[in-house]
Amino acid sequence: MAYDIDPDQSVSIVAIFLFIDAAFLGFPLLSSMMNGLGFPLVLALLVAGLIAAGVGLLQGRQWGWYLAMVAVGLSALRDLLGANLLGLLIDALIIFLLTRPATRAKFGVR
């Protein structure tokens, strides 16, 4: 059975999850920086990538789709290594929504 999901709704849902994910990664990052524990560059780049991907998706940019897939893939790897099952579930939902044929067609991705 094929699920017909409106691509505009999928993009909005994914963007919201990307921004929430960036917030959950970014606030502890800011806290550690304020406490003088250093600056984890990889985590900061992941937060920036999640935010940029969400903005790119909302603007309908093809690069936003690709960046979202890369950022979510890295986030899923981080969640897998940290045994964060809820994070993995959300990452799987994002990938599912982004890979629907109508959503891929919206961004011109084969």
The pLDDT score that the predictor gives to residue 65 is: 94
CA nearest to 107, candidates 46, 65, 55, 69:
65
Residue 3 has pLDDT above 70, yes or no: no
CA nearest to 93, candidates 24, 25, 27, 16:
16
Which pLDDT tens digit goes with each residue over 39-95? 678 888 888 999 999 999 999 899 999 999 999 999 999 889 988 788 899 899 999
Q: What is the DSSP letter of 108?
A: T
According to the per-residue pLDDT averaged within each range, which of 6-10, 24-28, 39-43, 45-49 is highest?
Answer: 45-49
Whole-angstrom distance between the N-terminal and C-terminal Cα of the chain?
A: 21
Residue 17 has pLDDT above 90, yes or no: yes
| pLDDT band of 2, cuts 50, 70, 90 | low
